[in-house]
Structure 1
Amino acid sequence: MSGNNWDDLRYLLAVARHGSLSAAARMLGVNHSTVLRRVTALEEALGVRLFDKLPGGYVLTAAGDEMQRVAARMEEEIVTANRLLSGRDMRIGGTLRVTTVDLLAVHYLPPHVAAFRARHPELRIDLTIAEASLSLTRREADVAIRLTNRPPENLIGRTLSGLAFAVYGARSYLEGRGGGRDPAGHDLAGHDCAGHDWADHDWVGLDETFDHTSMARWLQRSVPAERIGHRVNSVVAVMEAVRAGTGLGLLPCGFVDRQPEFRRLGPPVEEVGSAIWLLTHEDLRHMARVRAFLDHMAAAFARDRDLLEGRGGG
């Protein structure tokens, strides 16, 4: 049956997962009418209605739910086959898809990616910034560089380094606040942050999307809520707000200690920090371009480990 092939089933899966034709079209890189036409053709070929169009979006019928399960199994088999074949590709060319968080993408990876491409000019690096992990199992990415203390169990990789955080303020802000002294007039630099009353300072904090993190928990314990006058949902945004003089903030030592406009107000906060993991799927670990990138990045992070773990300045 001409409509009942994998290409048509991709459209069924996209609409089922996203709940609308427009969202499915964006994911597939086609227009709205193409999705509608392909789904309608599949329904006609099968002789059943696959979706009910409700006010809240497209919902699978009983027949559609059965077909969705069949299509999902087919997708898994195709993705697995592609992974296994890609894992045998020994060329250092083509495209390598890397996913990471904005902090690493903006403040660490660019020179290392540039050096890697200089060695392998036939290889294209597609870098996606995503706080949530893209699926390496479904080949949404080949390599992930993540800040986590609990990497996914279905991936393999290595810990590259720790990432320490400490309290920082812009020198311009601190000069207007006694040069970085606590309310009693003591110099904050070089002392344990836990011993200071931070209520005398303005702060840049993190919004509720970070409530599960050790950074947010430390701020809740250490800083009165009314002193947090600016909240953001990105560590990069905290860095830039602190740089602008908005207030103090918890920042990653490895990306701030060498920037003269910042001043560290104490050693790394012990209960705040993360490991940096380099991850891939087991089926891809022997692919030449993946292997080369893993080795290159592991060496880069190893050289910078003291800095990243807060021993490089301050």
Structure 2
Amino acid sequence: MTSPHAHPSPSLRIAPDDLLALLAVARLGKYTAAATSMGVNHTTVSRRIAALEKAVGERVLAASPDGWELTPRGRRLLPAAEAVETALATAATTTGRGGDTDSLTGTVRLAAPAGYADWFALPVLAQLQRVHPGLQVEVLTATQRARRYRSGVDIEIVVGRPDAPQSIAQFLRHYSLGLFASQEYIDENGEPESLAQMAGHRLIYYPEHSLSVEDLAHATEGLPQPAGHFRSNGVRLHVRATQLGIGIGLLPTYVVDDTAAHRSTDRVGPTHPDLVRVLPVFARPMEYWAAVRPEVLRRPAVEHVLLALRDGPPTTAEW
């Protein structure tokens, strides 16, 4: 990054490509991620930002522990950068096939826990991409707490309300964790009739040392020390291990429960009726939230994806 310039150079004009580079870094928080989104290398992005700062005479980005942030001058340039992006998108639409000016375009990058991505996000994203062929989606599965800025993604889905003061928090849905076992496991090992009896069973859940989500880390409180464990950072592995009779799984109820609530249209993913809920008195309420940087939410594609995730998959006519 170049040093700040005291005054703009009267001989330099702001280049549209430099504004687009600023927009990409502002949204993704990282030069490398911005470069990937633009189809260039990170040195090109760095050069364009340097040229922009030279033209305006001030810094437009400032480094933070979790990524690059817009300076006040950079924020004032944001509408101009978005206008350039909109103009280019309009030109591409009017010269392309179909001329559908209402279609969403661009790439939306999403980070979410695997369970949410699989059971809830995927049906929504599939519907959106069917209706909007120009919309591209990238999904990174990760179960971790929200950072102040998560570099390289547009929308971050987390368990529990995010503590990210520089981001916009959006509640998505409630869910809960419960204890499940296969019928074969119950036939061979017996079904626990009290929480104390869980001490005689192997527990299937996340690794303790790698779980930074406070709500999930506290989910096992009230359970005795188990006879053993099977640990994985993937919820599908939790489900599969429970199906195979390795032990009793602490699982999201939406992936296995066949109660009336989950037989409704609210259930958008597959269930596993081969698993049995044990100790229904043990339930851990949870919430999914989204964290989005304000400058990212100004993009129509990101706004539409976030609203769709919040509202669930509607009928085709509603899109």
Which range, TM-score by smaller chain? Answer: 0.5 to 0.7
State the alpha-carbon separation in 2 of the partners of residues 254 and 126 from structure 1.
24
Alignment match, 2:312:
300
Is residue 72 of structure 1 aligned with residue 63 of structure 2? yes
Offset at residue 250 of structure 1 (A): 0.9
Structure 2: unaligned runs, 5 residues or longer = 5-17, 19-30, 48-60, 87-101, 258-270
* 1:125-174 deviation line (CA, Å, top 9, x unaligned): 11122334676857621112221234422211321211201110122211
Question: Please, what TM-score do these two structures have when normalized by structure 2?
Answer: 0.60
Alignment match, 1:65:
none
Q: How does 1:7-156 map to 2 (within 5 A)?
A: 72=63, 76-77=69-70, 85-86=81-82, 89=86, 92-132=104-144, 137=149, 140-156=152-168
* Secondary structure of 2:242 counterpart: helix
State the alpha-carbon separation in 2 of the partners of residues 242 and 249 from structure 1.
5
Alignment match, 1:252:
252
Offset at residue 249 of structure 1 (A): 1.6
* Secondary structure of 1:295 counterpart: helix
Q: Which amino acid aligns with 1:224?
A: Q
Is residue 281 of structure 1 aligned with residue 274 of structure 2? no
Offset at residue 287 of structure 1 (A): 2.1
* Secondary structure of 2:189 counterpart: coil
Q: Which amino acid aligns with 1:210?
A: L
* 1:177-217 deviation line (CA, Å, top 9, x unaligned): 24xx33xxxxx5xxxx65x5212322224322227644444
- Residues 205 and 219, structure 1, Cα contact 8 Å, conserved in 2: no
- Residues 145 and 159, structure 2, Cα contact 8 Å, conserved in 1: no
Alignment match, 1:267:
280
Q: Which of the numbers 173, 181, 201 marks the counterpart of 2:185?
A: 173
Offset at residue 118 of structure 1 (A): 0.9
* Secondary structure of 1:297 counterpart: helix
Offset at residue 253 of structure 1 (A): 0.4
State the alpha-carbon separation in 1 of the partners of residues 222 and 135 from structure 2.
47
Question: Please, what TM-score do these two structures have when normalized by structure 1?
Answer: 0.60
CA separation of 1:224 and 1:83: change in aligned 2, threshold 3 A: farther
State the alpha-carbon separation in 2 of the partners of residues 212 and 139 from structure 1.
18
Alignment match, 1:243:
243
State the alpha-carbon separation in 2 of the partners of residues 205 and 230 from structure 1.
7
Q: Which amino acid aligns with 1:223?
A: P
* Secondary structure of 1:246 counterpart: coil
Q: Which amino acid aligns with 1:110?
A: L
Alignment match, 2:175:
163
- Residues 112 and 300, structure 1, Cα contact 8 Å, conserved in 2: yes
- Residues 161 and 171, structure 2, Cα contact 8 Å, conserved in 1: no
* Secondary structure of 1:72 counterpart: strand
* Secondary structure of 1:152 counterpart: coil
Offset at residue 231 of structure 1 (A): 2.4
* 1:35-63 deviation line (CA, Å, top 9, x unaligned): 9xx8xxx9xxxxxxxxxxxxxxxxxxxxx
* Secondary structure of 2:179 counterpart: strand
* 1:217-252 deviation line (CA, Å, top 9, x unaligned): 453641324x12322234333222112210002110
State the alpha-carbon separation in 2 of the partners of residues 263 and 138 from structure 1.
38
Is residue 210 of structure 1 aligned with residue 211 of structure 2? yes
CA separation of 1:158 and 1:229: change in aligned 2, threshold 3 A: closer
Q: How many residues align?
A: 236
CA separation of 1:75 and 1:167: change in aligned 2, threshold 3 A: closer
Offset at residue 82 of structure 1 (A): 8.0
State the alpha-carbon separation in 2 of the partners of residues 155 and 260 from structure 1.
39
